[in-house]
Each structure stands twice: as structure tokens, then as C-alpha cells.
Amino acid sequence: MIGFVLGVEDLADTRFALSPVTETVLSLRVLRDPGLSALHLPWRRSVIGGLGTLDAGLLMSLVGDRLTLPDFLTPRPAGFARAFEEELAVVRRASPGLVRRDLLAAHAPGPLPRVLRDATADDAAVVRLRDAICELLRRYWGLAVEPAWPRMRLLLEADMTYRARQLALGGARLLFADMHPNLRWHDGVLHIDKMIGAHRVEASGRGLLLVPSVFAHKPAPPVSPDEAPMLVYPSRGVATLWAPAPAAGASALVSLLGAPRARLLGLLEEPLATVELARRVGVTPSAVSQHLRVLFAAGLVTRARHGRQVLYRRSDLGDRLAGGHRSSPS
């Protein structure tokens, strides 16, 4: 069992972040062990054939026999939603000592795979190995994860919205109550059961960072007790992520919603403001606002404030309903 000891200030500094690098590294578990999650088999089938140009031996060596991963490959996100290249730059700066420590810890108590033998050599060799791993992950991201990242991000953001509401309604106890059966909040400590490690980490003012994940099959704290409290946890809604969306024909969508709302839903595959939507469809902003209120109430669009504007975008439900239907801008 691993425990995070959280004081009042740590709870006040509990926050969420997205991490494309963490998702990329976690997805390697599914490649190595397809039985880990049947939900991801459609994704695995779609990408496995395109990985022939990569160094599969080095890629798979990053996952330990107990499915542990080196902490330096999943750095604590420095912002809410950094780009993959920004996060990878942090990995590229990992010190040789940190790389060596984390690779050995991920494969303990067994030996390092042969392809990682340079991790026990001098610092120059470790740096070359680190850089080779980073370049390999960059190429793997582009082939396997980046094409699906927009859909994944929408799902992860929806999970964070739900969790933030749970925190607002019932505090830490409600926040962790349905996150995963392995999590338990008691007397100021977040207990993470069924872990390989057994230690407590005093947050000591560093707060707790929560990172929802598509590919995490259970809560995943850092392997090392020296790392700041961070918890990668399974996101809600993953079962729907790889399911093919039912195609709704334009006529069916018009019959269901009416022509104006069907057209707006078709346009909202990207975030747009009311004024821009009105310009594209050639009606007044007030008319667009009325239709958007109905679509929002039905759960077909989401909205978020950006500066002085409110941007609307199709929700996951709206995407599934729209299917292949897209409206062309005027």
C-alpha cells in the first residue's frame, strides 16, 4: 500500500492536469499485454501494424515485468495541458542519475533487459540511451496516440469536470469515493491499495496532482517515494472511446433536430462563438443563442468561457449523433 499524507494546504492545492506524455507511456502496457484491458483492443489493432519501423525491443523494454514504468518518463505536468513536445523536453532533461535509478526500479527485482544495459554504464552512455528513448517515444506518439488525442482529451476533460463537481459537493471523501476501488480516503491520508511498493509520502505543502488517463487500468502513483504526490487514475467513459460512432444521415439529423440546429451541430466540431456561428449561417446572434441553449440543455454541445467570449463545441454525445454529417460554412 502507498499512502499520500495530505494536510489542509495540500488539499487546497489539489488540482488536475492532462499529460500526453503520460498517456503515451501508459499505452505501452496495452501493447505489451493485450489482455490488460479488452476496451483498448480496437485501438491496439489499429496501431500495431504501423509500428514496424520502430525499435520494438527498446520500446517494450520500458515496461517492467510487473508493468511498472520508469518515473522519469512520466514527469509531473508543469501546467494544465502542456503539449507533448513540451513535456518530452522535460524528459530529455532528466539527469543520468535519475534515468539510471528509475530504469532499475521499474525492472526490480529482476535485471535490466539487455537493450537497457547502458543504464548501468557511465553518464555519457546513459544520456545517449535517454535521448534514444525520447526520440523513439516522439515517433511512437505520432503514430499511435496523436491521431486519437483530440478525442481522448475531450473525454479526459469531461472526467475532470465531473471530479471537480464531486470535490465541490462533498470534499475529498466524495472526490475519491468512486475514482477506483483501490483508493480510500481516511483521516487525512489517501490510501492506494494493491501496489507493489509500500511507503508513505508526506505532501508537505506540495499538494496533490490528479491526472486522468485513458490507458491507466488502476491508480498509478510514482514508483519512487521521493517524487511529489501525483496520481494517474482511470478516466470515466473509456468504454465508449474506441466504439465506432453510428452514422446519422443528414436527413435523419434534420428530422430529429430541425434544419437550423442540425446545421449548428455540424459546424461545432471546432469551438466557435455565437457571433461566428451567426455569420456562418446567416442569421442573428440571438437566433443562434436560442438554438444553442436547446442543444446545450440536451447535452449535445459543451460551452466554456474564453476571455470575453463563450465558445461552444459538440459534446461526445453530439459527435455520436452527428456521425459523418458536417455542415459546410457559408
Nearest CA-CA partner of 83 in 23, 143, 14, 161: 23
Judge whether residue 325 has pLDDT over 70: no
Instruction: Say what the pLDDT of residue 239 is.
Output: 85
Residue 138 clears pLDDT 90, i.e. is over it: yes
**For residue 281, what pLDDT band results from cuts at 50, 70 and 90?**
confident
What gap in Å lies between CA 202 and CA 191, rounded to an integer? 12
- Please tell me the pTM assigned to this model: 0.74
**pLDDT (tens digit per residue) in 83-136:** 999 999 999 999 999 999 999 999 999 999 999 999 999 999 999 999 999 999
Q: What angle do CA 122, 127, 129 make, to 5 degrees?
A: 95
Given this model, what pLDDT does residue 324 score?
A: 47
Task: Compute φ and ψ for 178, nearest 5 degrees.
Answer: -120, 20
**What pLDDT shows up at residue 75?**
95
Amino acid at 149: W
Would you call 243 exposed, middle or buried from its count of C-beta atoms within 10 A (0-12, 13-18, 19+)? exposed
- Give 6-43 pLDDT, tens digit per residue: 999 998 899 999 999 999 999 999 999 988 888 999 99
pLDDT value, residue 35:
87
Mean predicted lDDT score pLDDT of the chain: 90
Which percentage of the chain shows pLDDT scores above 90?
A: 67
pLDDT band at 249 (very low <50, low <70, confident <90, very high): low
pLDDT of 329 reads: 40
Lowest mean pLDDT among 41-50, 165-174, 186-195: 165-174
Residue recorded with cell 503514430 = 143
N-terminal to C-terminal alpha carbon distance within the chain: 59
Cα(125)–Cα(133) distance, integer angstroms? 12
Predicted pLDDT at 133: 98
Reported as a single tens digit per residue, the pLDDT across 53-88 is 999 999 999 999 999 999 999 999 999 999 999 999
Task: Compute φ and ψ for 214, nearest 5 degrees.
Answer: -75, -40
326 pLDDT more than 70: no
Return the bridge partners of 155, or none: none
| Domains present along the chain, CATH in parentheses | 2-239 (no CATH), 250-322 (1.10.10.10)
The 3 state secondary structure assigned to 79-101 is CCECCHHHHHHHHHCCCHHHHHH
Q: What is the pLDDT of residue 6?
A: 94
Mean pLDDT, rounded, for 175-190: 92
H-helix or E-strand spanning residue 311? strand 309-314
What value does the mean pLDDT take over residues 142-163? 91
**Per-residue pLDDT for 169 more than 60?**
yes
Neighbours of 162 (CB within 10 A): 15
